[in-house]
Amino acid sequence: MKVTIDGHEIEVEPGTTILQAARMIGGESVPPAMCYYSKLKGSGGKCRCCLVEVSKGSDANPTPMPKLMASCVTGVMDGMEVKSISSPRVQEARKSVTEFLLINHPLDCPVCDQAGECDLQNLSFNHGKSETRFIEEKRTFEPENIGENIQLHMNRCILCYRCVMTADQLTDGRVHGVVNRGDHSQISTCISKAIDNEFSGNMIDVCPVGALTDKTFRFKSRVWFNKPFNAHRDCDKCCGKTTVWMFGNEIQRVTARKDEYHEVEEFICNSCRFDHKDVNDWVIEGPRKFEKFSVINQNNYTRKLDKVTIETEKQILLGRDQDRKKISMVEVPLKNTENSKS
Amino acid sequence: MGRKILLDKINIPGIKTYEVYRQNGGYASVEKALKTLTPDEVTEEVKTSGLRGRGGAGFPVGLKWSFIDKKSGKPRHLVCNADESEPGTFKDRFLMEYIPHLLIEGMITSSYALGANLSYIYIRGEYMWVFKILERAIKEAYAAGWLGKNILGTDFSLDLHVHCGAGAYICGEETALIESLEGKRGNPRIKPPFPAVSGLWANPTVVNNVESIAAVPWIINNSGADYAAIGIGRSTGTKLISASGHIKNPGVYEIELGLSVEEFMNSDEYLGGMMNDRPLKALVPGGSSVPILPAHLIYKTANGDDRLMTYESLSDGGFATGSMLGSGGFIVYNDTTCIVRNTWNFSRFYHHESCGQCSPCREGTGWLEKVLHRIENGHGRMEDIDLLWDIQSKIEGNTICPLGDAAAWPVAAAIRHFRDEFEYHVRFPEKIKNRDHFVEEPFEKVRHLIAKQTV
């Protein structure tokens, strides 16, 4: 089947989705995806970030599709023509979806463990605006403890349903899911149960935002201060192939290996992830490759880093000269303020 | 006097019970269909009738039936959508409560046409008493041999169940309904695949509104051509209208499609004119999801033609100057109504009922509601009106199911036709601080306040 995306032609198997075809082409045409996960069956279609314009349905039926289509769940047809980044409508839709995702998302990136490897940060960097039109109070949820290993921050969740599908497809007996409806739907365990399962840690890896984070890594470090290394060990439960995130000689975090779309290559078990934090547990293969323009690369030691100098006024803690004058000299009246009248 | 098809026998005492219903010619269509017609002939008859789905979208029923995948060899299902939750619509409740056997008869005939041996009626949880009425009626039908194995000695068998929803508007969307029926969370599915190919338990399924199914017995007893003779153009047959609001006689009416809006509103046979003879301000002709019409576009379309109660005429002029027939929730407003408050109320509903699956609807409906609430309570800003317009345009068309569109359209129409009222709310918060702010001082009286003044 032949499909054209932003003018790039590619031959794909029947049953491929537009997003998969775009990923084969690569580059700028690849739509962002917050909920789609190629390793999880039935994922996608929810976040609406990957909307594309189908300007020609197929060779057999060349009429364009009137609505924007979610590229992750729309299969390609022979002769289909798709506009992704080249369509202003698509650009507009991505901007609006980004805005919708951000209006209730807390601005706690400075304290969020996901910051630096967060899909929502990337999305808003590419498609977001720096100002907000949302002046209401943000929606919040009661904190909930969902168990030993995983920290749930419901306020940050964008309801991609990935963790629900992970629990469904990877573990037996899912105990958490989406409860409630509308903008108050939340990820929660079925009546305050703890998530206790050998593969539950993978929920952390599939989470596109900081809603599910690793309790053993909580507030330990920023991800860009860590150096990722590929490592493996003999594990009887999983493949044992991981990325370990080192700070000096210390392993601060263990995650599964992720590909360029931040999707896990092979899922790992909880004992590899949470219980083996000693360097001697692992055979380190070498540095992990990551994207050139990612935040993690900002700390790349191979790059020449200039010394940062912060220029401020001298004796800044003492205040500005003119203010000091006013404070110490009571007899000098302040002009044009109410205080001067009294 | 208009022709009655659905409500013809509604006044016969005891029509709720099987005996009386049967004595008055009930279940004749089942006899006729099973004994003299093939399933395809029944479908053909419905196709000729031009019957359009009565749930809101107006998709031709016969066409929908012909899409069902009969080749796969999988069992097929008919599901009746009785999850009537559209604000302003209460016609299905009336049908099911007072003449439940009509729906059951329609279900049997339609299931025969589709070759379905297991059919469901999905009723909303709030209609618990109607649920019980239907259960009783189904029991009676089983006892009389209209349901079960080998109906009327033919080799057609049908099991019919009523399933009760748990109070979610979204379960009126056909794929969410199917999910809910399967016992899952009522989230709409991503289409394709359409239910006609993979619906309930991944089997080919047809989902139809109560009123559509209840119209089938008449079509079979008479003929599709007879049904098509009623109405105008592609709007054939009769339609139940749930009329509410500031009118003399609210209630459920059966009208022949093609009746003029003016006659429907003002004749004593129908709504009997405005309550307390106050002036008409606006009309929502098809349930809360459809665009609101301002007074000057109600009786006449933008071209100056008479506005008729048909799918085509009500949508004449597109969204700029028209609306939709929708599910027939006819809400009339007089000049004491605050359109901003009404729009906020609708938005509040959609905010509450959004399933939360896709981002534009989940976040957008809540945002719309908050901004409208602010304007209605005197905390609005001028830029909020443009903000509302922008939000609604970004929800519309970008969601999985039509709920996003349904949340966006009323807001868009209210701003399009009543923008000055929004501006009044923003500029004179003192005047709108009481809930009844237009009762003493209808908007017409204060309109001059927001006129552009040149000094």
Domain ranges of chain B: 18-229, 232-334, 339-450
A67 vs B: CB within 8 A: yes
| Domain boundaries, given as residue ranges, for chain A | 2-96
ipTM score: 0.90
From the candidates B355, B398, B401, B405, which should be mutated to test the interface with A, based on the most A CB atoms within 10 A? B398
Confidence of residue A197 (pLDDT cuts 50, 70, 90): confident
Task: Specify the pLDDT at position A131.
Answer: 87
CA atoms of B424 and B422, how far apart (whole Å): 5
From the candidates A48, A103, A157, A187, which should be mutated to test the interface with B, based on the most B CB atoms within 10 A? A48
Task: Specify the pLDDT at position A196.
Answer: 83
A48 with B354: Cβ contact below 8 A: no
Task: Specify the pLDDT at position A330.
Answer: 58
Inter-axis angle of helices B359-376 and B403-427, to 10 degrees? 20
Work out the end-to-end distance of chain A between its first and last CA atoms, rounded to an integer number of angstroms: 83
Task: Specify the pLDDT at position B57.
Answer: 87
Point out which residues pair with B118 in neighbouring strands. Answer: B77, B159
Using an 8 Å CB-CB cutoff, list residues of chain B that contact chain A.
Answer: 168, 170, 185, 190, 351-360, 362-367, 370-371, 374, 387, 394, 397-400
Task: Specify the pLDDT at position B191.
Answer: 86
Per DSSP bridges, beta strands B116-123 and B159-164 are parallel
CA distances from B435 to A88, B343, B366 (A): 43, 14, 22
CA atoms of B418 and B337, how far apart (whole Å): 12
* B contacts of A45 (beta carbons < 8 Å): 190, 358, 400
Instruction: Evaluate the omega torsion of the peptide bond into residue B192 and state whether it is cis, within 30 degrees of 0.
Output: yes
CA distances from A240 to A179, A214, A227, A235, A271 (A): 34, 18, 19, 5, 10
* B contacts of A97 (beta carbons < 8 Å): 359-360, 398
Task: Specify the pLDDT at position A336.
Answer: 54
CA atoms of B87 and B349, how far apart (whole Å): 9
A319 pLDDT above the threshold of 70: no
How is B403-454 classified by DSSP, letter by letter?
Answer: HHHHHHHHHHHHHHHHHHHHHHHHH-TTTT-STTHHHHS-HHHHGGGGS---
Closest to A166 in 3D by CA, of A129, A195, A125, A137 = A195
From the candidates A67, A100, A174, A176, which should be mutated to test the interface with B, based on the most B CB atoms within 10 A? A100
- How distant is the Cα of A182 from the closest Cα of chain B, in angstroms? 4
Which residues, including other chains, have CB under 8 Å from residue B141's CB and lie 6 or more apart?
A: B18, B101, B104, B108, B147, B160
Which residues, including other chains, have CB under 8 Å from residue B409's CB and lie 6 or more apart?
A: B289, B290, B291, B319, B392, B396
Average pLDDT over residues A80-95: 93
Query: Could you tell me if A229 and A288 are in contact, meaning their C-beta atoms sit under 8 angstroms apart?
Result: yes
A182 with B359: Cβ contact below 8 A: no
What digits encode the pLDDT tens for the residues A43-58? 989 999 999 999 998 8
List the 154-193 stretch of A: residues with Cβ below 8 A of B: 158-159, 161, 177-178, 180-185
Residue of A nearest to B370 (CA): A136
Q: Identify the DSSP state of A71.
A: T
A46 with B365: Cβ contact below 8 A: no
What digits encode the pLDDT tens for the residues A263-318? 999 999 999 999 999 999 999 998 887 777 777 776 666 767 778 787 776 666 76
Sheet of B238-245, strand order: B251-256, B238-245, B329-334, B280-284, B293-294
Confidence of residue A195 (pLDDT cuts 50, 70, 90): confident
From the candidates B175, B352, B363, B389, which should be mutated to test the interface with A, based on the most A CB atoms within 10 A? B363
Query: Scanning the structure block, which residue is given the tokens 């964008």?
Result: A158
Task: Specify the pLDDT at position B192.
Answer: 84
Average pLDDT over residues A85-101: 93
Confidence of residue A147 (pLDDT cuts 50, 70, 90): confident
Ranges under pLDDT 70 in chain B: 1
A73 vs B: CB within 8 A: yes
pTM of the model: 0.90
H-state helical runs in B68-209: 91-98, 100-114, 128-143, 174-181
A120 pLDDT above the threshold of 90: yes
Write the residue in B355, B365, B398 that is nearest to A93 by C-beta.
B398
A46 vs B: CB within 8 A: yes
A341 pLDDT above the threshold of 50: no
Average pLDDT over residues A162-187: 90
* B contacts of A92 (beta carbons < 8 Å): 394
CATH of domain B232-334: 3.10.20.600
Which residues, including other chains, have CB under 8 Å from residue B146's CB and lie 6 or more apart?
A: B27, B30, B104, B105, B108
What digits encode the pLDDT tens for the residues A205-217? 999 999 999 999 9
Query: Could you tell me if A90 and A68 are in contact, meaning their C-beta atoms sit under 8 angstroms apart?
Result: yes
Average pLDDT over residues A91-103: 94
Question: Quick one: CA dihedral B33, B39, B40, B43, positive or negative?
Answer: positive
What digits encode the pLDDT tens for the residues B47-66? 999 999 998 888 999 999 99
CATH homologous superfamily of B18-229 equals: NADH-ubiquinone oxidoreductase 51kDa subunit (3.40.50.11540)
Task: Specify the pLDDT at position A342.
Answer: 42
Query: Could you tell me if A256 and A264 are in contact, meaning their C-beta atoms sit under 8 angstroms apart?
Result: yes
Query: Could you tell me if B80 and B122 are in contact, meaning their C-beta atoms sit under 8 angstroms apart?
Result: yes
* A contacts of B367 (beta carbons < 8 Å): 100, 103, 134, 136
B358 with A47: Cβ contact below 8 A: yes
B362 with A73: Cβ contact below 8 A: no
What is the CATH architecture assignment of A2-96? Answer: Roll (3.10)
Write the residue in B351, B356, B371 that is nearest to A185 by C-beta.
B356
A136 CB-contact burial (10 Å; exposed 0-12 / middle 13-18 / buried 19+)? middle
A47 vs B: CB within 8 A: yes
CA atoms of A280 and B137, how far apart (whole Å): 73
CB pairs under 8 A between A and B: 91
CATH of domain B339-450: 1.20.1440.230
